[in-house]
Amino acid sequence: MSASSKVFKDGLWYNNPIFVQVLGICSTLAVTNNLRNTLIMVLGVTFATSMGSLTLSALRELIPRKVRMIVQVLVLSFYVIIIDIVLRAYAPTISKQLGPYVGLIITNCILMGRAEAFAASNPPGLAFLDGLANGFGYGWVLLVIAVIREFLGFGSLFGFKIVGDGFTPWTIMVMAPSAFFLVAIALWIANNYKAKAEAAKKGAAAPAGAPGAPAPQKS
């Protein structure tokens, strides 16, 4: 398995930011009751993670260890400001709806986590791919959750009404608690699936991201 395809598989499944690393569920959960906003946030996070990883990996020899954290935050916030300005210019209504959550991409733990765990010790190209893969791995889970929440909460997808007037919207799906429940259920399904896959190939080498394992240490 080549390094780049391994990075991609890790990001999308074996070391998925949500299922395995349990990172970054902070700010973006708040927007998952609406598919369009979720898509924008996911694209924003993917952009910031991949470009941030690329930059930090390219600079990794130059950054003194002591101030590494603050340099990481500054580089990441640079990209988030770009996202914010672009959104304000081309999608002012979405920018208003997202409110503070665009700025909060800066403190999304996935960004810092990847910068620290991967970009700090890998070449720029691979770090960029890793950021991209983690962004997508994070994105598909959130999009699934957003589809469920918007469909049950409003009876629509991307703002288009899908079901007729006979449908009673589940108010709980619009509110905060449902996001926690749905992430927990998604985590449960993923863990069970993983446990089964592991049991199926018992005796073979353990998969890269065993549940509960700390931040990945890849060469």
Residues near other proteins (CB under 8 A) are 22-27, 29-30, 69-70, 73-74, 77-78, 80-81, 84-85, 99-100, 103-104, 106-109, 112, 172, 175-181, 183-184, 187-189, 191-192, 195, 211-212
Nearer to other proteins, 119 or 129 (CB): 119
Task: Kindly state the smallest distance separating residue 84's Cβ from other proteins, in Å.
Answer: 7
Coil, helix or strand for 212?
Answer: coil
Cα–Cα distance between 64 and 42 in angstroms, integer?
31
Cα–Cα distance between 8 and 42 in angstroms, integer?
17
The crossing angle, in degrees rounded to 10, of helices 109-117 and 68-90 is: 140
Nearer to other proteins, 119 or 179 (CB): 179
Task: Kindly state the smallest distance separating residue 105's Cβ from other proteins, in Å.
Answer: 9
Classify burial at 119, counting beta carbons within 10 Å of its beta carbon; exposed 0-12, middle 13-18, buried 19 or more.
buried
| Residue 160, phi then psi, degrees to nearest 5 | -90, 130
Task: Kindly state the smallest distance separating residue 1's Cβ from other proteins, in Å.
Answer: 27
**Residue 153 contacts residue 31 (beta carbons within 8 Å):** no
Nearer to other proteins, 35 or 183 (CB): 183
Nearer to other proteins, 42 or 126 (CB): 42
Task: Kindly state the smallest distance separating residue 27's Cβ from other proteins, in Å.
Answer: 5
